[in-house]
Structure 1
Amino acid sequence: MSEGGILSKIKDKVMSGFVSSTPETGKGKSKISGKHIKHGFHLVKGKSHHDMEDYVVAQFRQVNEVELGLFAIFDGHLGHNVADYLQSHLFDNILQQREFWNDIRTAIRKAYKITDKHILQKAADLGRGGSTAVTAILIGGERLVVGNVGDSRAVLCKSGDAIQLSVDHEPITERHTIERKGGFVTILPGDVPRVDGRLAVARAFGDRSLKRHLSSDPDVVEAIIDSDAEFLILASDGLWKVVSNQEATDAIRHIRDPQAASKHLIEMALARKSKDDISCVVVAFR
């Protein structure tokens, strides 16, 4: 079976755009002998009046006799269609790159660009919205590769220390690049900085009307999962707006079940009055 066909359906969590009154949740575990890697995820809809716009991928897959852990958070805006499309296609596109096994960073960057191009071509069907993304690929339980655009975040806990692996692509930090492309960043009292007065992130998939001033180029980083690595947290900004990296890792170090850990982090954010959609994946390495 081709690498592209293997991942035609990556849907541990599948939301079809409907509004659910109950949280979505799930778990899974690695089949690698001698390792005890597990994942769990949890999602809740925010207090906005639109449909749920967060999507999650959390799955282990065998590809070319190597186990891959595939984890992602897609946080849509102005509709859920782009995030839904990413959930179904982005990992396929990454694995289809011929560089995947020899130069995974290049494969991820190319796949992000190709996927964004396809989304823009399908704008008539997918709508005018967009999505942020953070993806993590765990290779053989030992090598972790994280890519992201936007403000969903990946945080690795090693020996109790929170290490942010992703980059928050905020308009204020990329202001000069946006202005060089002919755009502008608004900074209004009581509001966050926005690209062209509209979007609160500087990089995203989709957003056709803003694409001249936005980037879909991911930051990509690698980490080795050694004996000091405890767990990885992926979450949308609904968590990170109210919970710091270190607070998040401290809050779940004592929780052995990653599904319960992801639920605990979301409950923590809700207790702090987060009103956004919140999605969270926790991958426990021991």
Structure 2
Amino acid sequence: MDSFQEKVGLGSTAETGKGKSKISKHVTHGYHTAEGKSAHPMEDYVFAEFKQVEDNELGLFAIFDGHVSQEVPDYLRSHLFNNILKEPDFWNETENAVRRAYRITDDKILEKSAELGKGGSTAVTAILINCEKLVVANLGDSRAVICQNGKAKQLSVDHEPDSERKAIEDRGGFVTKFPGDVARVDGQLAVARAFGDKTMKDHLSSEPHVTVEMINDDTEFAILASDGIWHVMNNQEAVDCIKNVKEAREAAKALIEEALKRNSTDDISVIVVRFH
């Protein structure tokens, strides 16, 4: 991963990097992060690289947004893609392989809770296979959006407690907006699906939403971003913000700058993958 630390505004340190496909010179990625204004240290973790596997090229992109944890998102950054690629039917049954690897990884995190702690993490992952096929999976509220002919299309699903209230209640949990104005599982967690969160796992799902998108001439770019972006702009605003920024890393940075202008206070991580 071509990554380095860079000082950005407010004296905070951002992680930033970029890379490009070896099989298609037009396909590039760039990412950028910004620490939020909260009292805790940065809990967003990014993974972005192109990797040769046998005769295929994979673009592996992910954002892991921890809650009460740096350990769980860090563990995911180190292990989730390895677990996905280890699945024997990855090439033939990619969606099933991703689902199974998510489940296996979550089991492992729960097993290791003594060392990884009680916190958890959302995830959005995108695997670009030979620059032709994009397999997106997610848990929680980090989001994947593509731009086709200037129009935003969301590929992930925001797993919000309100929309999964019945399933949470069926598992013995509850959803409340007290205290505050955000719906939370058991009054604690603002997402209905996540990795980890051992003490709440009985009421939370770790089943990812998985979707496949074929990349064609109309597909301009993809955005993966943590909720620090989506709290302050919708999908189309995000796409419009960067559609004229040709360089992927500059686009990721521009999106963060716009979110900060709109007073986003959360940790923010953005990956942009440009297809041409």
Q: Tell me which interval the TM-score lies in, with the shorter structure as reference length.
A: over 0.9
Among 247, 261, 266, the alignment partner of 2:251 is 261
Which amino acid in the other structure matches residue 206 of structure 1? Answer: G
Aligned to 1:90: 80
Aligned to 1:227: 217
TM-score by length of 2: 0.96
Q: Closer, same or farther in 2 for the Cα pair 1:189/1:206, shift >3 Å?
A: closer
> What is the CA–CA distance in structure 2 between the aligned matches of 1:117 and 1:196, rounded to whole Å?
21
> What is the CA–CA distance in structure 1 between the aligned matches of 2:2 and 2:177, rounded to whole Å?
39
2:238 corresponds to 1:248: yes
Which structure's residues are more often strand, by fraction? Answer: 2
Tell whether the 8 Å contact from 2:145 to 2:152 is kept in structure 1 after alignment.
yes
Q: Closer, same or farther in 2 for the Cα pair 1:50/1:14, shift >3 Å?
A: farther
> What is the CA–CA distance in structure 2 between the aligned matches of 1:244 and 1:130, rounded to whole Å?
25
Q: Give 1:79 shift.
A: 1.6
Q: How does 1:60-75 map to 2 (within 5 A)?
A: 60-75=50-65
Q: Secondary structure at the match of 2:163?
A: coil
Which amino acid in the other structure matches residue 216 of structure 1? Answer: S
Among 88, 103, 115, the alignment partner of 2:93 is 103
RMSD: 1.3
2:163 corresponds to 1:176: no
Percent identity among equivalent residues?
62
Once the two structures are superposed, residues 35-77 of structure 1 have per-residue CA deviations (whole angstroms, 9 ceiling, x without a partner) of: 4100000001101111110000110000011000000000000
2:17 corresponds to 1:26: yes
> What is the CA–CA distance in structure 2 between the aligned matches of 1:134 and 1:46, rounded to whole Å?
19
Q: Give 1:188 shift.
A: 2.9
Q: Closer, same or farther in 2 for the Cα pair 1:266/1:48, shift >3 Å?
A: same
Aligned to 1:144: 134
Q: Give 1:14 shift.
A: 8.4
Among 123, 128, 144, the alignment partner of 2:113 is 123
Aligned to 1:38: 28
> What is the CA–CA distance in structure 2 between the aligned matches of 1:64 and 1:95, rounded to whole Å?
12
> What is the CA–CA distance in structure 1 between the aligned matches of 2:33 and 2:246, rounded to whole Å?
19
Q: How does 1:187-202 map to 2 (within 5 A)?
A: 187-188=177-178, 190-202=180-192
Aligned to 1:57: 47
Among 151, 165, 171, the alignment partner of 1:161 is 151
In structure 1, the gaps of 5 or more residues are 1-10
Tell whether the 8 Å contact from 2:179 to 2:187 is kept in structure 1 after alignment.
no
Q: Closer, same or farther in 2 for the Cα pair 1:14/1:169, shift >3 Å?
A: farther
Tell whether the 8 Å contact from 1:59 to 1:69 is kept in structure 2 after alignment.
yes
Query: How many residues in Structure 1 have an aligned counterpart in Structure 2?
Result: 271
